[in-house]
Amino acid sequence: DTGVSQNPRHKITKRGQNVTFRCDPISEHNRLYWYRQTLGQGPEFLTYFQNEAQLEKSRLLSDRFSAERPKGSFSTLEIQRTEQGDSAMYLCASSRGGDRQKAFFGQGTRLTVV
């Protein structure tokens, strides 16, 4: 496993701007997840893809957030009109399908909205 890759590692943006993050999962993994983590808390689930289909979205995912996974490969998470409350670590994870499959996480993208 070459690992889950996320870019950029850090992003500072002004309130109201749009940002996009990228996640490259482990190549043979068909499941991909996005999580958000704030300081002192565990990661919270945002959305799930099986191949290219987005099958679940959390209530945390407001309409300013959109995620895609074209062709079932890499995924992008876009936040429009960023707010200070969006400041967090955004984590991507991937796993194989089926039960008993552990999820591997990327190093995350730290977003700071000023």
Partner 1 sequence: EDQVTQSPEALRLQEGESSSLNCSYTVSGLRGLFWYRQDPGKGPEFLFTLYSAGEEKEKERLKATLTKKESFLHITAPKPEDSATYLCAAPSGNTGKLIFGQGTTLQVKP
Q: Which is nearer to partner 1, 8 or 16 (CB)?
A: 8
Q: How far is the CB of 33 from partner 1 (least distance, A)?
A: 6
DSSP of 92-110: EEEE-SSTT---EE---EE
Site string for partner 1, 4-33 (x = CB under 8 A): x-x------------------------x-x
On the question of a cis peptide bond just before residue 8, with omega within 30 degrees of 0, the verdict is: yes
Q: Determine phi and psi for 85, rounding to 5 degrees.
A: -65, -10
**Binding interface with partner 1 (CB under 8 A):** 4, 6, 31, 33, 35, 40-45, 48, 50, 55-56, 91, 93, 95, 99-108, 110
